[in-house]
Structure 1
Amino acid sequence: MRAKLNLRSSVDWDFCTQTGVSSVTKLFHPWKSAVRSDSFHFVRRFNCGLTTEHHPLYGTFCTKLSSCVFEWDQEDVQRLKEAKREEWKCSHSGHVPTEEQLMATVNPGELKKHCRRRTRGVEEMRRMISRLLESVWDLTDTTGLCLVSHDSMRHIWEMQQKQLECFQDPPCWRCNATHMQMYMLEGLSRWNMGGAKEAVAVEGASTLRSFDVRPMSHLNSLSQRVRGCNLVAEFPHLGNLLMSA
């Protein structure tokens, strides 16, 4: 039996089709897929409403915009704080740090490494971005150059609000690009191994349901030493199948 894949695609086009089926969904048919607006492109579109990316306040705006769109999982943050608190106590003779001292020890890299992040809700995101735009609407640098191009930003925000619903994460956690590639490669490998087992008739094939080649090879190596035969059928052409998928 062939396994079915549930895909979540993040794209910058054709993701909020009001009528009919989007071309991206058709592309992955018959797999069940959910098409969402890509977070990177969603945030980058706001640049079109700014006067220049070289403005002194550009970096601050981008940082605040990101915090309007994403939130850290509070349970993960709390566990990280507990670990940092114990670390502080060990290096400060058992003294308990204040909340301010504790947060000062948590750097952005540690947050990204140990804590999950997801999109905020539609209305919360709408409210926070609106407040951010209001706060920077008339800000200028020392030469009087405005950060925001008013007419452009009005148009951008009007269009972006229509995508807030489509931009939301599904009820599962996001993963970064590396993890997504690993997940897809593992799915392809399992698909190909299943296909190979169906295509090749192996007498007395093992009922072992493992898709990890390394323990399978190790098991066969031990079996060869003890019994003089393989316990698990191996398919040398799996690599070719994977490359052609």
Structure 2
Amino acid sequence: MMLDRSLGNTMVRIWRQVQESHCYKYLNRVDMYTTLLTSLTKSGSIVHALGHEFQPPPPRRELPSARLLRKAFLLSESEHIEDYRAQIMSTFGKILKFDSTKKICKKLSGAGRGSAEWCTNVGNELSQVLTSVLTCEESREKLRPMAQGLQDRYSKAGEAPPPPPQVMYVDRGCCRVLGVSSIEQLFSEWSESGMVIRLDAFHWMCRFDAAVRTDHHPKYPLFKSALSAVLFAYNKDDMSLLVKLTRAGSSTYANLTDEQIIAKFISREDLKHFVRRVTVGAHETVTRVQNALEVLKGRAGKDGMGIALFKDDGSVDQVWANQQKHLKCLQDPPGMDMYTVTKHVTRNGISLPYYRTVRGSNSLEGFHRFLPSMIPGPRCAAVPFQVYLLAGIARWNSDRESDAVKGQKGRKHRTFQSPLIHRLNKRCELFGQVEEVNFRAPMPVGDELLGLEYLFSQSSSFNVDGHYTEAREVLQDGTTMMR
């Protein structure tokens, strides 16, 4: 029950659920026992005439405490920690996302409390996490070992190493206005191999919030939709195919124009999943943004009481002037398809590809929202924190890999122990088959550090093997278990 991370899924909560079930079953058995005895001791029965005395039901056995269950769980997970590290370090991607969050750092307690300020993560186009490190500051100096470890992972990945990533999406540090960007300096080997840095469109749009009175303004959603619309255009071929299959649904649509079909009968969800979007180019984007801002500066940007969306025209003009330099960083790399096909859907006799975008860092934002749930409870000491984090990321990556297979039927068995699967795949060759088709055995781990390993190495000498040997001893002793 504890293996599946979810919001509020703590050992105390699980203990309460088990305790409730345990008490319920105990009382049900007492009820059955007393019901049977009541039927035997009815007036006029032989047992009643003999005056036999019956034994009371045995007392209910007490369950182990939540603390003891937590200790047993962590000891079990710590035995697989090397496997989890290998799984994470065997993850690659061609479109990477780079971002940081502070949410999970607040949960670190005990001796490590206050030592971590940022949790920096790198994801790929499948929403998997290549690395996750905690640092005391988000500087190029502190992140350089993490970046070098990732680049070494690609260059040393077995006999057929994967090619360097093609694109990396970031929330800042993208532009080369003042020379080589900070991200290009951080990942210099990949940049020299042709990797391009792109700015995430969502983060770019959020920068306009500095000119907005409040995000509760009635026109605020319209403003964000307008910014998204000026950055992207719908693929004409995809739109024509969607209109065609919509027309095939009813003969009454024959007299309607394509614009009427799109406005009345095509939902936003259909546009999201069946029609790809493309960037329109930096010059075209300038014109579109300026037109949208001019419209929203007028009556279209005021609510029912006449209150304008923007603080004043000068503030939004200043933000726009500062953000124009990033327009080239928002464009899709030439010749690269920013969508993958996850499945095909048939409607009205026409097959449609179901798309999922690999553009931007939204998938990494989704991981950041889920990340605090990987660490149960409001506070957690360093040793169980690291165990929870690596186990949670390994499971997250495995689930994302399964979801990426067409039809979302990636894994036959929901298990995350790669040595067991690898061993069974080898042995099942005796029968001319494999137990798990969609499985790739992890590579040997390199010198990379993950999670709190990275944080500890910044302030002292650190040895991975020695750290986890000591961690198991701490868990056995239980003196520094999380509260």
Q: How high is the TM-score relative to the length of structure 1?
A: 0.70
Distance in structure 1 (CA, Å) of the matches to 2:314 and 2:272 = 35
1:133 aligns with 2:293: yes
Match of 1:122 among 254, 273, 282: 282
Q: State the percentage of identical aligned residues.
A: 27
For 2:169, the aligned partner's letter is S
Q: SS at 1:238's partner residue?
A: coil
Deviation string 1:88-144 (CA, Å, 9 cap, x unpaired) is: 24xx6xx62512552211101011111111222112111111111111113322333
Closer, same or farther: CA 41–97 of 1 in aligned 2, 3 Å: same
In structure 2, the partner of 1:199 is none
CA separation in 1, counterparts of 2:201 and 2:318? Answer: 19
Structure-2 separation of matches of 1:83 and 1:102: 11
Give 2:201's aligned residue: 39
Instruction: Determine which of 146, 149, 173 is the counterpart of 2:337.
Output: 173
One of 283, 298, 304 as aligned partner of 1:142: 304
Ranges of 4+ aligned residues in structure 1 off by more than 4 Å? 217-220, 239-245
Q: In the alignment, which of 76, 82, 96 is matched to residue 244 of structure 2?
A: 82
Partner Cα separation in structure 2 for residue 71 and residue 57 of structure 1: 22
**Deviations 1:185-234 (CA, angstroms, capped at 9, x unpaired):** 79xx9xxxxxxxxxxxxxxxxxxxxxxxx9xx77973x4136xx99xxxx
Q: How many residues align?
A: 204
**Residue in structure 2 matching 1:106, options 266, 269, 291:** 266
Q: 1:3 to 1:66 in 2, by over 3 A?
A: closer
Query: RMSD between aligned alpha carbons?
Result: 3.6
SS at 2:166 equivalent: strand
Larger Rg: 2
> Looking at both structures, which has the greater relative contact order when contacts are Cα pairs under 8 Å and sequence separation is at least 6?
2
The alignment partner of 1:9 has SS state of: strand
Q: Give the distance between the partners of 2:181 and 2:206, measured in 1 at CA.
A: 23
Match of 1:84, as an amino acid?
A: T
Q: Following the alignment from structure 2 to structure 1, what is the Cα–Cα distance between the partners of residues 307 and 268?
A: 31
**Structure 2 stretches lacking a partner, 5+ long:** 1-158, 339-356, 368-396, 402-420, 451-483
Give the distance between the partners of 1:134 and 1:12, measured in 2 at CA.
26
Q: Which amino acid aligns with 1:53?
A: D
Alignment equivalent of 1:238, drawn from 425, 429, 442: 442
- State the distance in 2 between where 1:24 and 1:7 align: 14
Match for residue 10 of structure 1?
169
Deviation at 1:80, TM superposition (A): 1.0
Q: Which runs of 5+ in 1 are unaligned?
A: 190-213
Aligned to 2:430: 224
Following the alignment from structure 2 to structure 1, what is the Cα–Cα distance between the partners of residues 256 and 234? 21
CA distance in 2, matches of 1:44, 1:239: 39
Three-state SS of the structure 1 residue aligned to 2:188 is coil
Distance across 1 between alignment mates of 2:255 and 2:430: 59
Structure 1 pair 237–84 and aligned structure 2 pair: CA distance change class (3 A): closer
